[in-house]
Structure 1
Amino acid sequence: MHELLALYLARQARTLGLDAQNVEDADLETLRTFARAVLDELAALGLVAGEEEVGCWAAPRPAGH
């Protein structure tokens, strides 16, 4: 699962034109967009706090399912 997350985040970085060599020169909005993608994925995995949505697949399932 971590490999899939890494591939997804790499794709997001490429889409935004970010890499380890140009991050210092990237504009603030691009960095915010990437940070949001990273944090949303971490929240979906339950690793950081995030917005809770009704019916979100990342939420714990009720007992009995």
Structure 2
Amino acid sequence: MNHQEILENIPLYVAGELSPSEQAEMDTHLKNCESCRMELEEFRKMEGMLEQLRLPDPP
């Protein structure tokens, strides 16, 4: 994967929807790329904020 593909796959990475080989490739890239780690952290923060806004299921 190139750098752009890594960034595009962050949502799938967080959701655990990548293949084992893609997951390993992401792990390796994230170990070595501070900017992508920051993007991952921002995505997780945003996901957490959206979860707080989620409305409860109707009865």
TM-score normalized with structure 1 length: 0.39
- Greater RCO (Cα-Cα under 8 Å, separation 6 or more): 2
TM-score (norm 2): 0.42
